[in-house]
Chains A and B, each alone.
Chain A
């Protein structure tokens, strides 16, 4: 069924073969690591810049205005101009702050998003690391982000930053449970935690359709909980401008603030990509069961295009949340998780296990 989808492993295999012909295997590994690192750095920067621009345009269209349109054609160079401005800003050192932790915190946040990027299957055969515990790895790595936030708030030596950081920390730790349980739902359906395996299992239809009601419930919970995880949308009390403080990154300026800012957008990309991979089929085109002709036609659209469009579909939904809804108060936020989302997720998991045992899914 997925026979005529171009497999990137032929490309990566040929690169590996030509490198092996030129140097010894240790050097080959080293060169490949450097290559992959450079590609990811570029990708990270480009996607980050593009997402910031996209957010501004989407927000503007929802608010009945145009958005950036002066700097470059359609304003596409706007983000680069903002980046140059941020790089030129003065890095204000804080008196009596813990300098090592203060400078370390943005790096921790950026590194965890990098680690999260590594696992994503961008197209058939195009995946940096393909663990057999892929989903588990992603959950573990995203939890490291909390450490960066708490360190940022604590080391700023400001009561307002500390309040914001503790609120953020509580929020993220709570919502990780719901994210984990909703990802677990798809793991139960597909029987494997390896991300390439999960995508392959969707060759006859995406899990959101095959798993009907429980998979849909999981998808909705995943959207809500991951918006809260990344401190966005109606759950951004910790960094809201019209509340008392600007949250844990109040005291950061210049490039360090740019790191937090960029990390937030990359987190959004990772979360959307994860949702697209597990629920919407990743790079797998839209197949319907055994309709060979239809599936064959769908395969003509490249897999990378499928992946990118699904990811951006979820990103648009997340952006839509932010610009429509008012903010939740911190106690309402935690009530939502502990009293509503968590029981529903637990019940859903039991239901899915039952359905898989009975074979009642497609």
Chain B
């Protein structure tokens, strides 16, 4: 970073000038710096600079036991914290060849989908706010509070719960859990059409997002863009279908694909995924089997020497965990392949030729969470 001095304005030969959208900015949703080269209002190229929130999680994992490092994974993509935790747990359970009880699988899947709903709600409200529809922020947050209340009652924490542990769950869910989730689904089914009324059908909104930031399927695969951003370009990349885990093989759900490839397609994919999440929860919530909330595990977990790999579908894409173990109680090397890292660097290709205002819309539609990029 030392040679990159923050440039305020540099007037080039052909009237290009470089503007900084600095690390603190209301629209970049985290500490991310964009160096934008503009010609008039049009973006010529864009360079993201990251590392402002690099905490060395991978190095820290080498000094923590497997149960301890679950708490570090929460902090990567904090909006899909449960999926991050589950990725590590699944990797460890695969390595030890432990079979978790059915109850655990059902509850983990329900939590996955609740977390995905909460994450998409926050994405929607921030996306509307970036484009200027300030009321959408409050609609999304009003409904998200219900989910966070459910989390708080069962797990003690609203956002970063670290509820799963290798072998199962930390403790059983609250007796009210089932009832409250069912009430929430009934409530939210009535509220989600309001989101469409406020934003999706609005002509001003559609003009801001249609045909902006087109990403072809080949670009998505080449850049490794997964999740709803990739599915908006017709790239079928849902890990829940490719390599099912938890209770995903027991439920019927559709993988939402749109072929538009522009910002509006990515938007529609995420809104449709909110409906699908509610369908999945509804199929599971009444059928949670009784049983233990954890398998029998030794207190100190040591993975057999070797390398293990596991992937899950977070709200933003494919998270892969790669563990190298040498038989000790801490991993030798732990690598997290995070979805936002790949999603970010496609911004230059998508934004070139558009205006500054479109850049905000595109980065909002890619749904970036910066701590996931930096780790």
Contact = CB atoms under 8 A, between A and B. Distances in A.
B250 interface: no
A62 B136 CA distance: 10
Interface string A324-341: 111111111000000000
Interface stretch (A132-140, A233-241, A279-287): A233-241
Nearest to B26: A242
A329 B133 contact: no
Nearest to A331: B355
A323 B357 contact: no
B41 A325 contact: no
Interface string B337-364: 0000000000000000001111010000
A328 B206 CA distance: 10
Contacts of A64: 138-139, 142
B131 A326 contact: yes
A326 B357 CA distance: 12
Contacts of B355: 329-331
Contact of A323 (B41, B135, B142, B208): B135
Nearest to B9: A159
B351 to A, nearest CB: 14
Contact of A234 (B26, B132, B135, B199): B132
Contacts of B129: 242
Interface in B277-300: none
B2 interface: no
A326 B135 contact: no
Contacts of B26: 241-242
B138 A327 contact: no
A297 interface: no
Contact of B134 (A63, A65, A244, A332): A63
A169 to B, nearest CB: 15
A236 B139 CA distance: 22
B360 A326 contact: no
A330 B41 contact: yes
A327 B199 CA distance: 12
Contacts of A159: 9, 17
Interface residues of B, number: 31
Given A159-B9, A325-B202, A243 B134 contact: no
Contacts of B128: 326
Contact of A237 (B17, B137, B138, B357): B357
B21 interface: yes
B19 interface: yes
B248 interface: no
B130 interface: yes
Q: Give the interface SS of chain B, mostly helix, strand, loop or mixed.
A: helix
B134 A323 contact: yes
Interface string B52-96: 000000000000000000000000000000000000000000000
Given A65-B138, A159-B9, A243-B357, A328 B130 contact: no
Contacts of B358: 329
Given A64-B138, A234-B204, A330-B41, A325 B9 contact: no
A234 B133 CA distance: 8
A187 to B, nearest CB: 31
A278 B198 CA distance: 32
A241 B131 CA distance: 10
A323 B133 CA distance: 6
Nearest to B8: A159
B207 interface: yes
Contact of A242 (B27, B199, B208): B27
Contact of A244 (B130, B138, B198, B356): B356
Interface in A50-81: 59, 62-65
A242 B363 CA distance: 13
A153 to B, nearest CB: 15
B130 A242 contact: yes
Interface in A117-165: 159
Contact of B207 (A59, A241, A332): A332
A191 B43 CA distance: 51
Given A328-B204, A328-B207, A329-B208, A243 B356 contact: yes
Given A159-B9, A241-B26, A327 B135 contact: no
A62 B207 contact: no
Interface string A196-219: 000000000000000000000000
B12 to A, nearest CB: 14
B253 interface: no
Nearest to A241: B26
Contact of A324 (B9, B21, B135, B142): B135
Interface of B: 9, 17, 19, 21, 26-27, 41, 128-135, 137-139, 142, 198-199, 202, 204-205, 207-208, 355-358, 360
28 contacts: A59-B134, A63-B137, A64-B142, A159-B17, A240-B132, A242-B130, A243-B356, A244-B19, A244-B21, A244-B356, A323-B134, A324-B198, A325-B132, A325-B204, A326-B128, A326-B202, A327-B131, A327-B132, A327-B204, A327-B357, A328-B204, A328-B207, A329-B207, A330-B41, A330-B355, A330-B357, A331-B355, A332-B204
Given A329-B207, A332-B207, 14 more contacts: A59-B134, A63-B135, A63-B137, A64-B139, A234-B204, A242-B26, A242-B130, A243-B360, A325-B132, A326-B128, A327-B132, A327-B208, A328-B204, A332-B208
